[in-house]
Amino acid sequence: MRREPGMDDARPPFPLRLWHWTTARVLYTAAIFLLICYLIRAARETFTLFLFAILFAYFLAPLVNRLEKPLRSRIAAIGAVYLLLAGVLTGAIFLLAPTLSEQTHDLAVRLPEFLHRAASGELLQSFAQKHHWPADRVDAIQSFLQNHADVLSTLGGDIARSLARPATHIWWLLLIPILAIFFLKDGEKIAANIGGIASDREDHILINALTADVNVMLGSYIRSQMILALLTLVAYSLVLSVMRVPYAMILGPVAGFLEFIPVVGPAIAAVCALLIPALAGYPHMLLLLVFIAVWRLLQDYVNAPRIMGKSLEINPLLQIFAVLAGGEIAGVVGALVSVPVAAILRIIWRRMHQNTTEESPNPSS
């Protein structure tokens, strides 16, 4: 058979090409990604420490930026902010530390006893008599509690141990502000150097744009969440103390911390704020329920829209999925960072899609 000119050039040298540069680049990128994931998992406590330092730096950055110009030095601005923060924390510790320590110790000791009394039906009987519940309802609930008495006792011990677990990382309270100083001082240089990993000019522009978008989003999100958490902490602590709710100075900080976990966190805080006083025999549960309901309406429909605005633009259903998936993958830390990670992935997808659309040829041209 006669071959046409150029046929040898169009045909590959082997019947099936198993290796080429595109495959090598994909495998190399995948290997780097897997190595990074392994390192993050192996040193997850160190990465968690640095993560909280970055979040802390984002929270302080606006005040540092505002003081930098009048003080004519970023180092001086950072020092002034830290002195102000130290004064506020010293006053808060001086006023609240004894009460908080006492309530935490008392709850850790008595929580297994509360759950045992709940499982035995003692708390249920007193609550039913006070609210005139019918006997059949009381018997059904008491039968359920007795059948799950072992589970409730085990749960009480686990919760008590979890209350004492953060004490093992108490030294982080010193390291996080120290590490945050470096991010506050050199954060802009670090962000500028990220674009230097790209050798191509268009890739360099794309990475810089992505870095700028992520920086704006994270800054707005962290500051908004911090403000909402502080509002919840103050509201719970003050109102529950005025209502003489048991362990008010524990429930307030717990509710403020859980405010960082979108959607799921406030629901867990509400359950804790109702369950623990009920176990302790608090008599005004209806008033407590009204306060929690009113506060959630105020926080979700008044405070959050005004403070957060459109910093995330993520559907609430996607937020719930991200929180549950993050919690399953990395526990509490995964739940805390899941929504910002989802927002970062959305920014990357939007920028990549925009870049692809701009580079694609116009069919009409």
Per-residue pLDDT of 126-144, as tens digits, reads 666 766 677 777 677 777 7
Contacts of 97 (CB under 8 A, 6+ apart): none
Q: What is the pLDDT averaged over residues 22-27? A: 68
Flag whether 23 is in a domain.
no
Q: Per the structure, how many domains does the chain have?
A: 2
Flag whether 71 is in a domain.
yes
Higher-confidence residue of 36 and 156: namely 36
Report the chain's mean pLDDT, rounded to a whole number: 76
pLDDT level of residue 16 (50, 70, 90 thresholds): very low
CB-count exposure of residue 41 (10 Å: 0-12, 13-18, 19+): exposed
Least confident of 70-84, 168-182, 272-286, 305-319: 305-319
Q: What is the pLDDT of residue 197?
A: 63
DSSP assignment of 99-113:
HHHHHHHHHHHHHHH
Q: What is the pLDDT of residue 221?
A: 81
Please give the model's pTM, rounded to 2 decimal places.
Answer: 0.68
Domain shared by 191 and 210, yes or no: no
Domain shared by 299 and 215, yes or no: yes
**Torsion of the alpha carbons at 281, 136, 119 and 100, rounded to the nearest 10:** -20
Pick the last residue of a domain from 180, 197, 214.
197
Q: What is the pLDDT of residue 111?
A: 73
Higher-confidence residue of 70 and 35: namely 70
Give the C-alpha distances (Å, rounded to integers) separating 43 from 30, 47, 50, 334. 20, 6, 11, 14
Flag whether 272 is in a domain.
yes
Domain shared by 64 and 84, yes or no: yes
Q: What is the pLDDT of residue 365?
A: 46
Range of the domain at 289: 199-357
Domain shared by 61 and 124, yes or no: yes
Question: End-to-end distance of the chain based on CA atoms, in angstroms?
Answer: 42
Domain shared by 57 and 119, yes or no: yes
Q: What is the pLDDT averaged over residues 239-255? A: 90
Domain shared by 180 and 226, yes or no: no
Domain shared by 242 and 193, yes or no: no
Flag whether 24 is in a domain.
no
Domain shared by 136 and 204, yes or no: no
pLDDT level of residue 77 (50, 70, 90 thresholds): very high
Least confident of 51-60, 158-167, 226-235, 277-286: 158-167
Flag whether 335 is in a domain.
yes
What is d(CA 77, CA 66) in angstroms, rounded to the nearest whole number?
A: 8
